[in-house]
Structures are given as structure tokens and as C-alpha cells.
Amino acid sequence: MAQSAENKFPQWLSYFPRIDSTNNYAMQLVDDGLARHGMVVQAGHQTSGRGQRGNSWQNDAGNVMMSLVVRPVMLAEQQFALSMLVACTIAKYLQNLYQQWQVAIKWPNDIYINDKKACGLLIENIFRGMQWSWAVVGIGLNVNQTNFPADMPNATSLAAASGLRYDLLETVTDLRSGILNAVNLWKPTNFEGLQATYNALLFEKNQIRKFRLRDSGRQFDAAVLEVDADGRLLLLTHTGVQAFQSGMLDWLP
Ligand code: BTN
């Protein structure tokens, strides 16, 4: 049963103290024809939380692990628009929560506070024929976790970065309404403005960083320029400007 006996949860929320992955559950709702725009699946603990590129996602009961189901209103070829919209909405929400933070989006859609990762997104899109019918927006936001394993030196949380504690249900409610609002107000003519907002928040913009190509393992230094309309990262390498698709590159420390 999803919700507790006290019934303290809003009707749009299915809360599971323990589940394999909120994204898996939300994808199943879509498959079963039970998905509704705005539904949220939230977990206290995920036994198989999924991250980008087949990685697992670590668990901490003090964090937000949620999947928001949306009916995207973007064109099918603009899947990166939803990713940018969600990342920008969360980044702006965090920036408002605590003005002293330096909030940035590490391409393609990790959200950083003061140079450390606070939030990861796993957006899964469901097509019926040519029609983009649903998106499951998986959000892992580190909220009240203050101890991180030694192998995660680059992670932070809202509590670790501010010294404050946060209410998880309030955070989930705010994230949901911010993202739904942005999706509901979306118009294709907003694309360029969204891309500009995203690029203004881009992590390490104009900085020289070390990268590694996933296929060949080759490492190189390059300056981070911007993200183009296809969601590719433009880097200034020693041979000129090159565009990289998500998944081609690793950022090295
Ligand atoms: C990343 O690798 O940075 C993306 C992490 C996404 C994790 C969230 S937690 C809630 C949702 N359910 C999952 O299994 N994954 C996402």
C-alpha cells in the first residue's frame, strides 16, 4: 500500500517507505495506463535506485528521491528542452532557497551547489509511435544528508551547504509545482530563452577543464563554451570548437 494510515500525503503523491526505484514504479504506471500528469512517486528508501548511464543511485533517508510524471508538451525532437526546463527550474528554486549558494548546472543535467553535486536527474521518455506521450522525471536531491561516503568527495546536500534542515514533503511539493508550472506554461517560442537561461547557469562556463572521451579513453583539455540547440556541449579544444553529445564525455577532476 502506497500511503500511510495517517493519510497526511496529498492525493497526487504515492509515498513508499521502501521500493526498488521510483522511476521503475512510475514507468509501470505509464505502461499500465494509470499515469496522470502531475503524479509523484516518492521513496524513503530505494533498493535499486538508478542513475545516469546505468549507474546506481545512493540512498539516504534524509534525501528526496522522487519521480514526477508529466505529459510533455514539447515537440518530440526537443527532448533536451524538457531536460533543460527541469534543470533550470530546480537550479532557480535552489538559488532562491539560499541566496549565498552558487548554483550551477553541470551539463547535461546535474545540479551543483558551490562546486559539488546536490541533485541528479534521470528523465525517461515514453513514445507511442511518433508521439512523445509521457516523461518520468526522476529527481535525486540531497537534502538532509550530512555525511557522505569517502568515494563521494564531490557530493553535497542542502543541509551540508547551509547548516539548515529541510522538510522533505515541502521540498517535494515545491519541486513538483515549480516543474509543472514550467511545463504547463511552455511554448515552443520559449526555446531560445530557455537555452540562454541554461547557458547562463552552465557549470564551469569559460573555464578550462579536463575531459575523457568514453569510446577511445583519450583525455584532453578544453574550455567549456555553451550548449547548442541540440543539447550538445560545445568545447574549445586545441583543434577548434567541437560539439559533444551527452554520453560521449566524462569530466575529469
Ligand atoms: C544521476 O545519475 O545523477 C541521476 C540520478 C537520479 C536518481 C533519482 S532518485 C529518484 C529516481 N528513481 C531512480 O531510480 N532514479 C531517480
pLDDT in tens, 119-151: 999 999 999 888 899 999 999 999 999 999 999
pLDDT of 27 strictly over 60:
yes
pLDDT of 1 strictly over 50:
no
Predicted confidence at residue 66, as pLDDT, reads 98
What average pLDDT does range 94-108 have in this prediction? 97
> If you measure from the C-alpha of residue 246 to the centroid of ligand 1, how many angstroms do you get, rounded to a whole number?
17
Could you identify the atom of ligand 1 that is nearest to the CA of residue 22? 12
Predicted confidence at residue 73, as pLDDT, reads 85
Residue minimizing CA distance to atom 10 of ligand 1: 65
Residue minimizing CA distance to atom 3 of ligand 1: 120
Query: Peptide bond preceding 10: is omega within 30 degrees of 0, i.e. cis?
Result: no
| C-beta of 120 in contact with ligand 1 (< 6 A) | yes
What average pLDDT does range 195-224 have in this prediction? 97
pLDDT of 3 strictly over 70:
no
Indicate the burial class of 55 (C-beta count within 10 angstroms; 0-12, 13-18, 19 or more).
exposed
Would you state the torsion angle of the CA atoms of residues 230, 90, 190, 130, taken in this order, to the nearest 10 degrees? 50
Indicate the burial class of 233 (C-beta count within 10 angstroms; 0-12, 13-18, 19 or more).
buried
pTM, full prediction: 0.95
pLDDT of 5 strictly over 80:
no
pLDDT of 6 strictly over 80:
no
Predicted confidence at residue 226, as pLDDT, reads 98
pLDDT in tens, 49-72: 999 988 999 889 999 999 999 999
* CA distance linking residue 175 with residue 113, whole number of Å: 17
What average pLDDT does range 43-47 have in this prediction? 96
Mean pLDDT over the full length of the chain: 95
* CA distance linking residue 212 with residue 229, whole number of Å: 23
> If you measure from the C-alpha of residue 236 to the centroid of ligand 1, how many angstroms do you get, rounded to a whole number?
30
Predicted confidence at residue 129, as pLDDT, reads 85
| C-beta of 176 in contact with ligand 1 (< 6 A) | no
Predicted confidence at residue 7, as pLDDT, reads 63
| Among 72-76, 121-125, 148-152, 206-210, the least confident range | 72-76
